[in-house]
Structure 1
Amino acid sequence: MVLHGLLALLHFPWFYLVTLLLAGIQHLRQRHLERATLGIKVTRDVLHAFRSIGIGLLAGIAISAAFDYAHVPFSWQDGVSVWVLGTLFSLIDMRLACVSYSGSLVALAGLVSAWWVPGNAPQVAVWLRALHPFSLLVLIAAANAVEGVATFLQMGIASPFLMKSRRGQIVGAFLLQGFWPLPIFALGSVPFSVLPNRTGIALGSPPQRVFFLGGVSISLYTILLAIALFFLRHSTPGLTIVALLALLSHAWLERFQVMREEAQSPLYVRPKSGVRILATLSGTPAKRIGLTPGETIARVGGMPVNSPYDLHFAIDQNPAYVKLEVIDSRGEMRWIGTPIFERDPHHLGCVFVPDERGVTETNVLSVGKQGRFFKLWRSVDAGERTVETPA
């Protein structure tokens, strides 16, 4: 049956291709986000895109095989409804593309049809009664399991950008996102696809910690959802409650993570002395020697540095080899030596938290607006200006 499903997907790939296109557009938007606020592309978005597609494809095959083995029924109305609703939601806000929202609403519509359907709309009644609410909720649990594992393993993108804190201070932050397109080719349904995703910010914590906590929280949520489905699978009122919780809990988990980060003191702010790292560029000395976001470079070759210009000057004094005095986020000091050559266009390869005096409002984006498709594109197209060149 799995081979039959794969052949059906190859014969009718359009739903899956559109989902891939939406995920690809989001990766391009993150590249524009970095260029618009920092003036340089930091993350390797193409590598992340292919990795996300690979994870989603393998997970989709496994989920479809499990549904086939467990005889979880689907109809073509299930697939079309979830895909259409999820695609429409993605045009409003990419965070809403997650199957937790579209799948829950379609499941609720199927559950409501068990006791009420419009009498003057027979076609609507036929459509709603062909839905399988329990199967859709199982699909949500499976997709969230993929989301939880992928988030826990940090299979997402952490894009550095600039934002304004609650106190009006311009600080560095990371926009965390992961998209894993799942092709579903269950028996009885057209080959469709869903897009589990995870979004959040890292403001007062390193991105790795936020990914870890997010993966733990969504995994616990998935386990509770699976337990509820097991005990309430034959109860229409019970499944209705589960669908409502699945709809609201996912949004609450994302909002709680953002509120937790906003309540902490920002980590990526300009220090009193030294220069604080916001991001490191791939293939540079900074990446090779293990410099990480949130660390502060206090001295270079024994010379104190308080701006990227100081750091450039200190490196130029000895372009072949420099010794760095680095303070980590816990306040501990360490010394690192690395060869740097004059032909290296980025010298060290760091992007630092900028001085507010060198930042204009057009370089600062609001976290609450990152998912809005058209507004973000307008802000990006307005101009890409460099805040501070990488050192």
Structure 2
Amino acid sequence: MNEVLCFFKLIAGELTSALQNPLFWVVLVLVAFQYRRIAKSRENLFGISGNTVFRDTLSATWYGFIGGLLGSILLILAGINLTGLAISYIWPLALILMLINPRFLCFSYAGGIVALSNLMLGIPAVDVPQLMGLVAILHLVESMLIYFSGHAGASPMYMKKPSGQIVGGFTLQKFWPLPIVAVAFLSEASGLTLLPLMPDWWPLIQSGNNFILGMSGVLFPFVAGLGYGDLALAHTPVEKSKLSARNLGIYSFILLGLAVLASRFQDIEYLAAVFAPLGHEIVIYVGQHIEFKGKPIFVPPLRGVRLLEAVPNTAVQAAGIRSGDVIYTINGQPVNSKLDIEAALGSGARLLEIEFITHSKKKWQRVIMELKPYQPAGIIPVPEGDEYTYTEFVSQSIISRIAEKIGRNKKGI
């Protein structure tokens, strides 16, 4: 037990040193700029203002540290050796792929291409099972972060589906700076923490380099950044983040299993290298298919006005009304459109009695909403179909695009 605690303390100490790396602060600034961009977009679309950038960045940093601790433990136990992973090739390739589509800034694509190049052409020199293990573990950490915080700060939007229907929904965008520790075998290890004594079964993913004699195993801190982007149309943001985390977790465990097998059976290396990008595409395709083929939540009800968003720190949120709830009356008057809501809010009354049904428990509620000076009501209704500002859907999955093209060809379009 004491050895386990010492192991955790050792990793935590190395993570702390990673926080002192200037690169971590560069990544942190980039993350803050991303949250600033999201906040500006939210304000431009719906007038939702509020200084949430610092809070979002601080929360992301905290979750990133926890994710880094978990990822470090998994990388070390798996025996991932950073010195044999051709990182100097993967990062530039990932940046080039990003120019095609920003979401390709992901090790599943660049890592898969590098691994296949090694298997088919012999270049660059890379330990394929170990590289696939790194990709799997980073995505496993990402799935954990998505599960616990992927829904936070979801931005409301109006989206035009491929069918032409305008529905309400949310964009889920999260970014995490990740200080992390892994194993590296170096000829010169002065100033670095030596790898502690590991169990007999270690490493889980065997290395083809057999840990070159004369090199010292050290704990090497480095910095990474993880990002998550998704849509919630047929699910609430909380439901969607848990669904996405589950799918990405399944992908990660399959890839990790293939990496372990590939380290023992060479023929499995091709399967692991192909599955890394292809499996990731399947995860994206399934996520998009579920949202666009499922029944949308944020559409007008037969009677009343459904809320797309109850803006934080506003009168409607203080009254206990939440996203998805359906408002039926305000001060005894039925409301069935955005115009009805605007008329009630503009009546000059400071106290408004609102009757509504909750989305979560389907319970009838009656509350008093107090409109305070200089505080917005914070009601964002679902779209009614006549909106002129909305987002056009563009498929992010290559599989989705192929399926759409086949569908058009069958219809003779």
Give the counterpart of 2:148 among 147, 153, 156.
153
2:394 maps to 1:365: no
Q: Give the superposed CA RMSD.
A: 3.2
Q: Structure 1 residues 246, 343: CA separation in 2 closer, same or farther (over 3 Å shift)? A: same
Residue in structure 1 matched with residue 248 of structure 2 by the alignment: 218
Q: Structure 1 residues 144, 346: CA separation in 2 closer, same or farther (over 3 Å shift)? A: same
The code of the aligned residue for 2:240 comes to V
The code of the aligned residue for 2:157 comes to F
CA contact (8 A) 2:358 2:365 kept: no
CA contact (8 A) 2:315 2:372 kept: no
1:209-260: CA deviation from partner (whole Å, max 9, x where unpaired): 1111111222222222222222332233312211211211112111211111
2:263 maps to 1:237: no
Segments of structure 1 that go 5 or more residues without pairing to the other structure are 118-124, 372-391
2:316 maps to 1:286: yes
Whole-angstrom CA distance in 1 between matches of 2:279 and 2:226:
14
Whole-angstrom CA distance in 2 between matches of 1:313 and 1:285:
16
Residue in structure 2 matched with residue 105 of structure 1 by the alignment: 113
CA contact (8 A) 2:284 2:396 kept: no
Give the counterpart of 1:350 among 373, 379, 396.
379
Identical counterparts, % of pairs: 25
1:188-228: CA deviation from partner (whole Å, max 9, x where unpaired): 58865443333221112212111111112222222222222
1:127-171: CA deviation from partner (whole Å, max 9, x where unpaired): x22x23222211112111112112222434421111112332222
Residue in structure 1 matched with residue 3 of structure 2 by the alignment: none
Whole-angstrom CA distance in 2 between matches of 1:3 and 1:279:
39
Residue in structure 1 matched with residue 62 of structure 2 by the alignment: 54
CA contact (8 A) 1:99 1:194 kept: no
Q: With the length of structure 1 as denominator, give the TM-score of the two structures.
A: 0.77
Q: How many residues align?
A: 353
Give the structure with the larger helix fraction. 1
**Following superposition of structure 1 onto structure 2, how do residues 58-207 of structure 1 map, counting pairs within 5 Å?**
58-68=66-76, 71-75=79-83, 78-112=86-120, 116-117=121-122, 125=123, 128-129=124-125, 131-156=126-151, 157-186=153-182, 187-188=184-185, 192-207=222-237
Whole-angstrom CA distance in 2 between matches of 1:11 and 1:329:
46
Q: Structure 1 residues 208, 5: CA separation in 2 closer, same or farther (over 3 Å shift)? A: closer
2:305 maps to 1:275: yes
Segments of structure 2 that go 5 or more residues without pairing to the other structure are 1-9, 187-219, 398-413
Q: Structure 1 residues 219, 369: CA separation in 2 closer, same or farther (over 3 Å shift)? A: closer
Q: Which has the higher contact order (CA 8 A, sep 6+)?
A: 1
Q: Structure 1 residues 48, 108: CA separation in 2 closer, same or farther (over 3 Å shift)? A: farther
Whole-angstrom CA distance in 1 between matches of 2:341 and 2:117:
61
Whole-angstrom CA distance in 2 between matches of 1:11 and 1:40:
35
**Following superposition of structure 1 onto structure 2, how do residues 242-391 of structure 1 map, counting pairs within 5 Å?**
242-315=272-345, 319-329=349-359, 332-347=362-377, 349-357=378-386, 359-360=387-388, 363-368=389-394
| Residues 24-33 or 38-47, more deviating | 38-47
Whole-angstrom CA distance in 1 between matches of 2:85 and 2:361:
57
CA contact (8 A) 2:161 2:393 kept: no
CA contact (8 A) 1:83 1:193 kept: no
CA contact (8 A) 2:159 2:166 kept: yes
Q: Structure 1 residues 97, 64: CA separation in 2 closer, same or farther (over 3 Å shift)? A: same
Whole-angstrom CA distance in 2 between matches of 1:10 and 1:212:
29
Determine helix, strand or coil for the equivalent of 1:250: helix
Q: Structure 1 residues 342, 152: CA separation in 2 closer, same or farther (over 3 Å shift)? A: closer
Determine helix, strand or coil for the equivalent of 1:220: helix
Residue 312 (structure 1) shift: 4.2
Whole-angstrom CA distance in 1 between matches of 2:114 and 2:22:
22
Q: Structure 1 residues 66, 330: CA separation in 2 closer, same or farther (over 3 Å shift)? A: closer
Q: Structure 1 residues 37, 285: CA separation in 2 closer, same or farther (over 3 Å shift)? A: closer
Q: Structure 1 residues 20, 237: CA separation in 2 closer, same or farther (over 3 Å shift)? A: farther
Q: Structure 1 residues 331, 20: CA separation in 2 closer, same or farther (over 3 Å shift)? A: closer
Residue 331 (structure 1) shift: 9.6
Determine helix, strand or coil for the equivalent of 1:166: coil
Q: With the length of structure 2 as denominator, give the TM-score of the two structures.
A: 0.74
Residue 305 (structure 1) shift: 1.5
CA contact (8 A) 2:42 2:155 kept: yes
Residue 300 (structure 1) shift: 1.0
Whole-angstrom CA distance in 2 between matches of 1:27 and 1:193:
19
